[in-house]
Structure 1
Amino acid sequence: MTIHYLTLSGIATRIGISPTTAKKYADDGRLPEPDAVTGDGPKAVRGWLPETIDTWNSSRPGHGGRPKKDPQD
Protein backbone atom coordinates (compact mmCIF):
# COMPACT_ATOMS: atom_id res chain seq x y z
CA MET A 1 0.00 0.00 0.00
CA THR A 2 1.33 3.43 -0.97
CA ILE A 3 1.29 6.20 1.64
CA HIS A 4 0.45 9.64 0.26
CA TYR A 5 2.09 12.64 1.89
CA LEU A 6 1.36 16.32 1.43
CA THR A 7 4.07 18.61 0.09
CA LEU A 8 4.11 22.30 0.96
CA SER A 9 1.95 22.93 -2.10
CA GLY A 10 -0.47 20.23 -0.96
CA ILE A 11 -0.64 21.75 2.53
CA ALA A 12 -1.39 25.15 1.01
CA THR A 13 -4.24 23.73 -1.04
CA ARG A 14 -5.63 21.71 1.86
CA ILE A 15 -5.80 24.57 4.37
CA GLY A 16 -6.41 27.47 1.98
CA ILE A 17 -3.13 29.40 2.14
CA SER A 18 -0.64 30.27 -0.57
CA PRO A 19 2.33 27.99 -1.27
CA THR A 20 4.59 30.91 -0.30
CA THR A 21 2.92 31.10 3.11
CA ALA A 22 3.25 27.33 3.57
CA LYS A 23 6.99 27.58 2.80
CA LYS A 24 7.36 30.47 5.26
CA TYR A 25 5.56 28.42 7.95
CA ALA A 26 7.96 25.53 7.29
CA ASP A 27 11.05 27.76 7.27
CA ASP A 28 9.94 29.48 10.51
CA GLY A 29 9.31 26.14 12.24
CA ARG A 30 5.56 26.74 12.52
CA LEU A 31 4.59 23.51 10.78
CA PRO A 32 4.77 20.22 12.67
CA GLU A 33 7.77 17.99 12.04
CA PRO A 34 7.38 16.21 8.69
CA ASP A 35 6.23 12.61 8.75
CA ALA A 36 8.72 11.72 6.00
CA VAL A 37 11.80 13.18 4.33
CA THR A 38 13.10 11.99 0.99
CA GLY A 39 16.64 12.85 -0.05
CA ASP A 40 19.38 14.80 1.65
CA GLY A 41 20.48 18.38 2.07
CA PRO A 42 18.75 21.36 0.51
CA LYS A 43 17.08 19.19 -2.14
CA ALA A 44 15.33 17.00 0.47
CA VAL A 45 11.57 16.83 0.10
CA ARG A 46 9.47 16.89 3.26
CA GLY A 47 6.08 15.21 3.48
CA TRP A 48 3.23 15.39 5.98
CA LEU A 49 0.33 13.02 6.44
CA PRO A 50 -3.02 14.72 5.88
CA GLU A 51 -4.03 13.83 9.46
CA THR A 52 -0.92 15.57 10.82
CA ILE A 53 -1.81 18.78 8.98
CA ASP A 54 -5.51 18.58 9.89
CA THR A 55 -4.66 18.24 13.59
CA TRP A 56 -2.14 21.07 13.45
CA ASN A 57 -4.48 23.32 11.45
CA SER A 58 -7.40 22.85 13.84
CA SER A 59 -5.32 24.07 16.77
CA ARG A 60 -3.01 26.68 15.23
CA PRO A 61 -3.20 30.20 16.63
CA GLY A 62 -5.24 32.61 14.59
CA HIS A 63 -7.26 29.90 12.91
CA GLY A 64 -10.44 29.81 14.89
CA GLY A 65 -8.53 29.42 18.15
CA ARG A 66 -8.06 33.14 18.69
CA PRO A 67 -10.24 34.46 21.53
CA LYS A 68 -13.05 36.69 20.37
CA LYS A 69 -12.71 40.36 21.15
CA ASP A 70 -14.86 41.53 24.05
CA PRO A 71 -17.28 44.13 22.64
CA GLN A 72 -16.97 46.08 25.92
CA ASP A 73 -13.23 46.71 25.35
Structure 2
Amino acid sequence: MTEHYLGVTQVAERLGISKAAISAYKLPEPDVMIGRTRGWKAETIDTWNSARPGRGVGGGRPRKHQQERE
Protein backbone atom coordinates (compact mmCIF):
# COMPACT_ATOMS: atom_id res chain seq x y z
CA MET A 1 0.00 0.00 0.00
CA THR A 2 1.32 3.44 -0.92
CA GLU A 3 1.67 6.04 1.85
CA HIS A 4 0.61 9.60 1.02
CA TYR A 5 2.31 12.60 2.60
CA LEU A 6 1.68 16.34 2.42
CA GLY A 7 4.38 18.66 1.16
CA VAL A 8 4.69 22.28 2.27
CA THR A 9 2.29 23.44 -0.44
CA GLN A 10 -0.36 20.92 0.58
CA VAL A 11 0.09 21.83 4.27
CA ALA A 12 -0.54 25.50 3.41
CA GLU A 13 -3.65 24.55 1.44
CA ARG A 14 -4.91 22.38 4.31
CA LEU A 15 -4.44 25.26 6.78
CA GLY A 16 -6.03 27.76 4.39
CA ILE A 17 -2.97 30.00 4.16
CA SER A 18 -0.64 31.04 1.37
CA LYS A 19 2.61 29.29 0.52
CA ALA A 20 4.44 32.48 1.51
CA ALA A 21 2.79 32.53 4.95
CA ILE A 22 3.70 28.92 5.75
CA SER A 23 7.37 29.91 6.05
CA ALA A 24 6.52 31.87 9.22
CA TYR A 25 5.04 28.77 10.90
CA LYS A 26 7.11 26.41 13.03
CA LEU A 27 5.83 23.17 11.59
CA PRO A 28 6.14 19.88 13.47
CA GLU A 29 8.95 17.46 12.69
CA PRO A 30 8.25 15.81 9.34
CA ASP A 31 7.09 12.21 9.24
CA VAL A 32 9.35 11.49 6.27
CA MET A 33 12.29 13.06 4.46
CA ILE A 34 12.97 12.36 0.79
CA GLY A 35 16.28 14.02 0.13
CA ARG A 36 15.74 17.52 1.49
CA THR A 37 11.97 17.42 0.94
CA ARG A 38 9.79 17.17 4.04
CA GLY A 39 6.53 15.26 4.21
CA TRP A 40 3.80 15.05 6.82
CA LYS A 41 0.85 12.74 7.33
CA ALA A 42 -2.46 14.59 7.31
CA GLU A 43 -3.09 13.40 10.88
CA THR A 44 0.21 14.93 12.04
CA ILE A 45 -0.73 18.34 10.64
CA ASP A 46 -4.30 18.16 11.98
CA THR A 47 -3.09 17.23 15.49
CA TRP A 48 -0.42 19.93 15.45
CA ASN A 49 -2.88 22.56 14.17
CA SER A 50 -5.52 21.74 16.78
CA ALA A 51 -2.94 22.13 19.58
CA ARG A 52 -1.71 25.55 18.40
CA PRO A 53 -2.74 28.48 20.59
CA GLY A 54 -5.55 30.60 19.20
CA ARG A 55 -5.33 34.20 18.17
CA GLY A 56 -4.79 36.55 21.09
CA VAL A 57 -3.76 33.94 23.63
CA GLY A 58 -1.92 35.61 26.48
CA GLY A 59 -3.79 38.87 26.07
CA GLY A 60 -1.17 40.65 24.00
CA ARG A 61 0.19 44.01 25.04
CA PRO A 62 -1.80 46.03 27.55
CA ARG A 63 -3.66 49.04 26.20
CA LYS A 64 -2.12 52.45 26.80
CA HIS A 65 -5.33 53.94 28.14
CA GLN A 66 -7.82 51.62 29.70
CA GLN A 67 -11.31 53.05 29.50
CA GLU A 68 -13.49 52.55 32.50
CA ARG A 69 -16.96 51.25 31.84
CA GLU A 70 -19.72 53.01 33.69
TM-score range normalised by the length of the shorter chain:
0.7 to 0.9
1:23 counterpart = 2:15: no
Q: Which residue is 1:35 aligned to?
A: 31
Separation in 1, partners of 2:3, 2:10: 14
Which residue of structure 2 lines up, in the alignment, with residue 2 of structure 1?
Answer: 2
Determine the structure 2 residue equivalent to 1:51. 43
Deviations 1:13-61 (A, max 9, x none): 1011111121232xxxx1110000001xxxx100000000000001112
Q: CA-atom RMSD, angstroms?
A: 2.2
TM-score between both structures, scaled by the size of structure 2: 0.73
What is the alpha-carbon distance in structure 1 between the residues aligned to residue 45 and residue 9 of structure 2?
12
- CA distance in 1 between counterparts of 2:6 and 2:47 reads 14
CA–CA separation in structure 2 for the residues paired with 1:62 and 1:20: 20
Identity in percent: 53
Deviation at 1:12, TM superposition (A): 0.6
Determine which structure has the larger helix proportion and give its number.
1
Ranges in structure 1 where 5+ consecutive residues have no aligned partner:
none
Which runs of 5 or more residues in structure 2 are unaligned? Answer: 60-67
Tell me the number of residue pairs that the alignment of Structure 1 and Structure 2 aligns: 60
